[in-house]
Structure 1
Amino acid sequence: MNHTPDLSLSRRGLIRTGAGATLAALGLGAGAQSASAAVTATKRFDLTEPSYDLFRSKDTHGARVQQSFSFDWENKFLFVATKRTGSTETDGDLCINKMDFDGNYISYMHLDGFGHGVAFAAVPSGSGTDLWIECARNPDTGYGTALTPVRYTAGTTLSSPAASAAYRPISGALEYTCSVDPVYQRMIVRYHTSAGKRIAVYPLSDFQTGNIGSPLVDFKQPTIDGTAQGYALYGSYMYFLTGDHYPGDGTPVGDGNTYITSIDINTGTVKQGPTLTKAGSTLTWREPEGLAIYRTDAGEARLFIGFATGEEGDRRSSIFYKNALI
């Protein structure tokens, strides 16, 4: 379904390093239990309602698939992370594409050795944007082992800091990613431990000041079938994306297998889903890649769903959204 979108939607250098080793002592350990109702209950997106187009099949700087995306909600830009052309799956090399809300490409930045790019947060900082993103990739998996803020700087290439020069706020965590809730001003962190995946939620101000304390909630990610492709936070609910690209040459096959699940972060349990989404069902390839939250200037909250689409060697970005709250 097509819909015209209403998206009238200091600081510290390229990388702001922190004492990662000392911050680890402030976080909850891998075996921590979920805090009880530490976040005020909010409305949630109804995943059964239709999705609408933001844009389809837009060019990015490279030819490879997008991994995730995030909105700078104050400066009104969209940042899309794609795999770096010529890099292997475990190199952790990313290309960050700066785009407008119509999907027009503006500029790029290369991040070498950072991670897989499952999720990241574009946080406005004056007239610029700080990208909170995984870094210090695990050479065996390609996923980041710490978090760091990077000031987006067009046309530059940056090598990852060491994990010891970045942020590792959770004791026992082996890998990290994060995503921002711009409406309720929180950061959600998905992290890996020897016992599996866990979720922690913090005030966004902890990351903006570089003083990351204990999370508001911390819980074991519930079991959800399918290939994990992204997540986002809105109020007291987390949204989790799973699915795969159309097989073979990428020709559409049925309704695909892209599902979205909502999770109550106060209980750590599934609230709705997994719910099939048919957004962009006619697109070639159509691999689900990323979720993000944005609220329009008119006050409408939206859950955005990203897809890597297009032919091999010419992958494109396609993004849709849901806007029905219950």
Structure 2
Amino acid sequence: MTEESTGSQAGEGWSRRGALRLGGGAALAALGLAAGVSPASAAVPSGRRFDLTKPSYDLFRHKQLHDVTVQQSFSFDNVNRRLFVAQLRGGQDGKLGNLCITRLDFSGNRLGWMHLNGFGHGVSFAAQGVGGDTYLWTEVEANSNGYGRRLARFKWVNGATLSASSSALTKYTPVSGATEHTCAIDPINNRLLVRYHKDGAKHLALYSISSAQSGNFGSPLARVRQPSIPGTMQGYTVYGPYAYFMVGNAYSAGNPSPGNTYLSTVNLNTGKIVQGPTFTKAGSTLTFREPEGMAVYRTAAGEPRLFLGFASGSAGDRRSNLFYKNALV
């Protein structure tokens, strides 16, 4: 089922307040003064990208997670065909960085959970299949704002609770001097995209999974400053030489259906936006509908898909919803 017509360009739902939520770079964009972006390195082979104007289709709607809060992000283990969703833990101060990770099947049925104490906000994470196991890459060591200073890699263990100081973690500091790190995975090309905050701006660095796992962050395949994208950042992911971003807010009196969710594509070899911001109505009939998370997956038949996540439902009973795009250009 699709709920999305061809996307319109930025304009609907844009607000100066939303732009300022992203900090200095987005504020410049709001004033027509977008900062220049230049890559430090550019060695990612060219490839096709998802067409953001094409329809979106349902994977599932209105599925319960282990906790009752909104989902923050999600990731696929493409080797073992597994899906994981991150939330902040209910009834706790978000600045503590306490997360819940739920494992679902592709129909949205719950299969397991983990608790992570002191990790971060759950902005984005990566699921890496290794043989029959899944290893998660997450932010860790929550700062005073509740966002992770570093990255951690650890094995998924159903029902386990890990602290930020657990010996089960392998920790990394990809960029010295960065105050926040998150990541996303390209499971098709076995690459890890690291998004980090340094010198008052967000940056992107792309690595092979093997290099990242060995702690070799000195020579990224590409490194760019994230271009200004107006709106409230709600998710990002990577496929080939392109990073994808989603911005928007939950439905409200000031943001009624079909909302203000926009998608953008950034070329990691140039740091430039190559498509978007493009308006999406995916899941527009959902109640509450807050954009939350992006991920890439390739089906067993070989079809790449760009997934978009949305939270729905009422307070105290938020639900997970996943949609995907599959048209490449």
Which residue of 268, 275, 294 maps to 1:291? 294
User: In structure 2, do the counterparts of structure 1 residues 33 and 273 end up closer, same or farther at CA, with 3 Å as the change threshold?
Assistant: closer
Answer yes or no: is the 8 Å Cα contact 2:2–2:282 preserved in 1. no
Q: Given the two structures, how large is their TM-score scaled by the length of structure 2?
A: 0.86
Q: Aligned partners of 1:197 and 1:208: how far apart in 2?
A: 22
Which residue of 105, 111, 115 maps to 2:110? 105
The residue that corresponds to 1:193 in the other structure is: 198
Q: Which amino acid aligns with 2:266?
A: I
Q: Are 1:280 and 2:283 an aligned pair?
A: yes
Q: Are 1:68 and 2:58 an aligned pair?
A: no
Q: Aligned partners of 1:232 and 1:292: how far apart in 2?
A: 5
Answer yes or no: is the 8 Å Cα contact 2:178–2:196 preserved in 1. yes
Q: Are 1:322 and 2:305 an aligned pair?
A: no
Q: Given the two structures, how large is their TM-score scaled by the length of structure 1?
A: 0.87
Q: Aligned partners of 2:297 and 2:149: how far apart in 1?
A: 27
Q: Helix, strand or coil for the counterpart of 1:109?
A: strand
Answer yes or no: is the 8 Å Cα contact 2:2–2:55 preserved in 1. no
Q: Which amino acid aligns with 1:153?
A: V
Which residue of 147, 169, 176 maps to 2:151? 147
Q: Are 1:157 and 2:161 an aligned pair?
A: yes
Deviation track 1:268-313 (CA, whole Å, cap 9, x = no partner) reads 0000000011000000111100000001111111000001111111
Aligned-residue offset at 1:208? 3.4
Q: Helix, strand or coil for the counterpart of 2:152?
A: strand
Q: Are 1:48 and 2:53 an aligned pair?
A: yes
Answer yes or no: is the 8 Å Cα contact 1:237–1:264 preserved in 2. yes
Q: Which amino acid aligns with 1:86?
A: G
Deviation track 1:61-113 (CA, whole Å, cap 9, x = no partner) reads 11101000000111111000011122112110100000111111111100010
The share of aligned pairs that are identical, in percent, is 54
Aligned-residue offset at 1:166? 2.0
Aligned-residue offset at 1:165? 7.1
Answer yes or no: is the 8 Å Cα contact 2:251–2:257 preserved in 1. no
Q: Are 1:300 and 2:303 an aligned pair?
A: yes
Deviation track 1:125-147 (CA, whole Å, cap 9, x = no partner) reads 22111100000000x21000000
Give structure 1 regions of 4+ aligned residues with deviation exceeding 2 angstroms: 207-213
Q: Which amino acid aligns with 1:300?
A: E
Structure 2: state its 5+ residue gaps.
Answer: 4-36
Q: Which amino acid aligns with 2:260?
A: N
Q: Which amino acid aligns with 1:259?
A: Y
Which residue of 309, 315, 321 maps to 1:312? 315
Answer yes or no: is the 8 Å Cα contact 2:153–2:170 preserved in 1. no
Structure 1: state its 5+ residue gaps.
Answer: 4-31
Answer yes or no: is the 8 Å Cα contact 2:74–2:125 preserved in 1. yes
